[in-house]
């Protein structure tokens, strides 16, 4: 209320004098005036729409860095800090990739465990080959006995 009074009477009295009389800071008055005078600019509104659109197209995966690169690829001149600010105001966040958790081994199951047929004898003495697999890639490998 005090700031509005100062703004209305600024043509009659100096701003510094009125701020002292009303016991407010001049910097507080000028920051209030800047907030009142400058609602969201058209450039911010256009950037906001573009950010939301690119974020939706990325299936909400892009964060500040990739959104900035995508907007620049569209020909827009944007600062990453500005993109971050608009994202924060809109509540947009990039989906983080989850940490890799292997799902191949479940040691708490109640099923029977397959017997260890090879008993760590990897040299095969019979004509029937032993088959193994690599759990990392899941592709079957064939163990052969070394040539004699």
Contact of 135 with 104, CB cutoff 8 Å: yes
Residues of the chain by 3-state class (helix, strand, coil), percent to 5: 45, 5, 50
**Cα–Cα distance for residue pair 56/77, rounded to 1 Å:** 20
5-54 pLDDT, tens digit per residue, is 888 888 888 988 989 988 999 898 888 888 876 555 677 888 899 999 99
56-73 pLDDT, tens digit per residue, is 999 999 999 999 999 999
pTM (2 decimals)?
A: 0.43
**Cα–Cα distance for residue pair 115/104, rounded to 1 Å:** 18
CA dihedral 78, 84, 87, 88 (to 10 degrees): -150
76-130 pLDDT, tens digit per residue, is 999 999 999 999 988 899 888 788 777 766 677 788 878 887 777 767 677 777 7
Res 148: pLDDT: 53
Using the CB atoms, write b or e for 53-91: b if 16+ within 10 Å: ebbeeeeeebbbeebbebbeeeebebeeeebbebbeeee
- For residues 116 and 145, which has the higher predicted lDDT (pLDDT)? 116
**Cα–Cα distance for residue pair 49/27, rounded to 1 Å:** 33
């Amino acid at each position: 209320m005090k700031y509005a009074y100062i703004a209305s009477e600024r043509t009659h009295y100096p701003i510094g004098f009125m701020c002292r009389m009303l016991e407010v800071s001049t910097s507080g008055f000028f920051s209030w005036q800047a907030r009142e005078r400058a609602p969201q600019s058209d450039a911010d509104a256009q950037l906001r729409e573009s950010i939301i659109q690119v974020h939706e197209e990325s299936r909400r995966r892009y964060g500040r860095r990739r959104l900035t690169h995508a907007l620049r690829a569209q020909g827009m001149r944007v600062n990453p800090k500005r993109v971050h600010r608009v994202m924060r105001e809109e509540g947009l966040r990039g989906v983080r990739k989850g940490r890799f958790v292997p799902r191949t081994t479940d040691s708490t199951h109640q099923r029977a465990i397959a017997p260890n047929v090879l008993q760590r004898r990897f040299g095969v003495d019979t004509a029937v080959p032993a088959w193994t697999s690599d759990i990392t890639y899941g592709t079957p490998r064939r163990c052969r006995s070394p040539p004699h």
